[in-house]
A = this chain, B = another copy of it.
Amino acid sequence: MLIKQLGLIGCGLLGGSFALALKQANCVSRVVGYSRSASSAEKAKALGVIDEAVDSALLAATGSDVVLLAVPVAATASVLASILDAIGPDTLVMDVGSTKGSVVASAQMALGNKIAAFVPAHPIAGREVSGVEHAQATLFDGCNVIITPIKETGAKQFEKAQALWLLIGAAIHHMSPEHHDAIFAASSHTPHLLAFAYINSLANQRLLDQFLAFAGSGFRDTTRVAASDPTMWRDIFLSNKDDVRKQIHLLQQQLNTMDEVIANDDGPKLEQLLTQAQRIRAAWNIS
């Protein structure tokens, strides 16, 4: 058995799916879970995602050889500080947060000389639904996982983290936390922000009900991610502030250009802009 005990801190979609995947791969003996909301932990236990629900993050980490943090990124520092005493020289502590720079900084501050235990990871496997009831053993099968080790990351922990993700079907990529955050600000955080902002731009208009009544498949797809968890995304936007703001500003420039081109009835320029975007998007396929 690869893992004797998995300590799961945060029993939601990602944490629950990780536990289920390891159980299905038959490589964990026991999963102990803690959730800030007691009802989530109880639900996780009822669903067989965890074997025991405990009352604190520290209790979940105690006796666990692998600890998975699956909480909103802003909670990283306080959770890691609370489990410090349970981290031994061989313990692997891993997160699944969508930003990595602030998570690594939190880990360095909270873990001090135990920082070797921590492996920062980001599985590209979000969904617009949340909660352990949507957890699936196959969520990470075929998905990309970005691991962003730092120089203090322990070799044993790094190897073990990779072995776990490979076992449950993920493909692994390495990059620095800073590079990760620059990429995901552009490819993930900004489209989410855009979807939230667009829905809010409709929200206060008198015709909102009719907008929604006649919205079609374009609206459905462009706004799907606006149904995502607000707390999780609040933390992501704030913890990747500089990169996200840079992308918002680049997007605003493009909107200003489109607005100006439309105001000037400049058909050729508008077609050129749309064609550029169309070619890039039509050539893209999810990897």
Contacts and interface: CB of A to CB of B under 8 A. Distances in A.
A139 B82 CA distance: 57
Nearest to A226: B281
Chain A binding surface SS class: helix
A234 B280 contact: no
A194 interface: yes
Interface string A17-40: 000000000000000000000000
A86 B245 CA distance: 57
A256 B256 CA distance: 13
B251 A201 contact: yes
Interface in A197-217: 197-203, 205, 207-208, 210-217
B247 A201 contact: yes
A276 B227 CA distance: 10
Contact of A193 (B125, B258, B280): B258
Nearest to A259: B248
Contact of A222 (B225, B253, B254): B225
Interface of A: 74, 124-127, 144, 146, 173, 182-184, 186-188, 190-203, 205, 207-208, 210-231, 233-234, 237-238, 241, 244-245, 247-259, 262-263, 265, 267, 270-271, 273-278, 280-282, 284, 286-287
A187 B212 contact: yes
Nearest to A215: B187
A216 B252 contact: no
